Structure 1
Amino acid sequence: MNPLEERMGYKFRNGLLLAEALTHPSISLERKNYPFDNQRLEFLGDAVIQLVVTEHLYRLYPDFSEGQMTKLRTRIVSRPALKAHAVLMDLGRYLMMGRGEEASGGRERASTLADAFESVVGAIYLDGGFDAARNFVLRETLDDFERIAKNPEEVNPKGTLQEILQAIEPCAPAYEVVEQTGPDHSKHFVSKVIWSEIELGRGEGLSKKQAQVAAASDALDRQLWLRKDKRSGTAASV
């Protein structure tokens, strides 16, 4: 694991933690009584990443509201963002998984790579403590924070929402007008956004486009897609 540790900038004292972080649950389907997989570390790592990013945003933007910081955090800890970090680390190459999972493209799957990144963070936290995990997360997300510093306001909530959802399931969100009031020269629209039979959010505006953007922003705040993602057996970080 030395090349991976060099890329991570962290040397494990307990190498078994790194091995656990890189073990996909599918391996237990082919090897009975396999001692571990990375699901518990993924759960822990998700919480550590959320805390590190939240704390850093809190300090960087003292004048931002809770809603603004939530949207910024979503841009950093979304599944596509975590997958991108895993790809840069070449984590897929090091994963231990069942042959069936590998044959179906598991090493490149967004959920697998994002989960592995979270698991690595959880392993670093257990091995070296919070400061070690915090340093690792902030190093890996440095470019994300720099992009946010250049453009802290979310300018494309519809695009962000679609990117997050299609990393989970290859179907785009749909927008529907649920209410339309007012005279022709001064219409008021209420729209909802639906994905995979789930209503994710609603928004209002003076045009259909404004209402759709507001609905997407509401969906990003509520993050209701997590319910489906948990039922599907994966753990999203958004």
Structure 2
Amino acid sequence: MNKFNIKEIEETIGVSFNENKLLKTSLTHSSYANQHKDQEYNERYEFIGDAILQLCVTEYLFLNYKEKSEGELTKIRSLIVCENSLYEIGCKLKLGSFIRISRGEELTGGRERVSIIADAVEALIAGIYLDKGLEFVKDFILGHFQIIINMAINNDIVLDYKTKLQEELQKTGEVSIVYELTKYEGPPHRRKFFTTVIVDNKEFGSGDGYSKKEAEQNAAKEALKILEEVNE
């Protein structure tokens, strides 16, 4: 299991904590706490982090996009504050390599799991808030989410890659799109699935995930990237 290196983490996320315990708790998964007595884990931090993220994004959209209606702002916010966006931020911050998880969770792909990384981002936001205050964490959030915010404003974020792929491929007529489960591995409670998307009997992309739905979405995402390269 990776050693929890405070200095390395702080350099990577660009935040120096006054109270190291807040950082440790932010990046401690319940599976680790279950094996280490009296160790606090990050689920309660997620609760605070989600509220702070919602507040900061809501305020930013309200102040900067006065021409947009309440309904439009709500839709835009839902694209920004979602598991996929949190996962992207978590990957950029390399949180998967820093999270304290149990050996069993690590062996079954916990460091790459979308939900674990997304939850860790929310918890980290809470930790920064508790250590530095609202204004500091607001700057942190807006700094890291700005690209996602811009994409949401321009409606460039895709949440359902399967639907998007179908729309793109069927612009010129009907095509056959099949998602084929090629294999799976790991124990039943932490099974990883591998899927290939087949378009008109030809392999067009592949993906994996800890549910069949996630694997199919990732396969469609890769297929969209391939389609984009072909059309350039």
Partner of 2:213: 171
Do the aligned partners of residues 9 and 97 (structure 1) sit closer, same or farther apart at CA in structure 2, a change above 3 Å counting?
same
Partners of 2:29 and 2:101 within 8 A in 1:
yes
Partner of 2:98: 94
Give the one of 7, 11, 20 matched to 2:12: 7
Give the one of 98, 104, 109 matched to 2:108: 104
Partner of 1:127: 131
Number of residue pairs matched? 166
Say whether residues 1:113 and 2:117 are aligned partners.
yes
Do the aligned partners of residues 118 and 68 (structure 1) sit closer, same or farther apart at CA in structure 2, a change above 3 Å counting?
same
Partners of 1:27 and 1:34 within 8 A in 2:
no
Report matched runs for 1:183-202 at 5 Å: none
CA distance in 2, matches of 1:100, 1:158: 31
- Deviation per residue, 1:40-70 (Å, 9 max, x gap): 1111111100100111011121121221111
CA distance in 2, matches of 1:78, 1:167: 18
Query: Which runs of 5 or more residues in structure 1 are unaligned?
Result: 173-238
Q: CA deviation at 1:38?
A: 0.5
Do the aligned partners of residues 29 and 142 (structure 1) sit closer, same or farther apart at CA in structure 2, a change above 3 Å counting?
same
Instruction: Give the aligned residue type for 2:146.
Output: L
Q: CA deviation at 1:87?
A: 0.4
Q: Percent identity?
A: 34
Partner of 1:56: 60
Q: Tell which has more relative contact order, 1 or 2 (C-alpha 8 A, sep 6+).
A: 1
Say whether residues 1:83 and 2:125 are aligned partners.
no
Partners of 1:18 and 1:120 within 8 A in 2:
yes
Report matched runs for 1:30-45 at 5 Å: 30-31=35-36, 33-45=37-49
Partner of 1:208: none
Do the aligned partners of residues 42 and 161 (structure 1) sit closer, same or farther apart at CA in structure 2, a change above 3 Å counting?
farther
Query: Which runs of 5 or more residues in structure 2 are unaligned?
Result: 1-5, 165-207, 215-232
Aligned alpha-carbon RMSD (Å): 2.5
Do the aligned partners of residues 14 and 155 (structure 1) sit closer, same or farther apart at CA in structure 2, a change above 3 Å counting?
closer
Give the one of 9, 24, 28 matched to 2:29: 24
Q: CA deviation at 1:30?
A: 2.3
Partners of 2:113 and 2:210 within 8 A in 1:
no
- Deviation per residue, 1:7-51 (Å, 9 max, x gap): 2221100011000001000113323x2320001111111110010
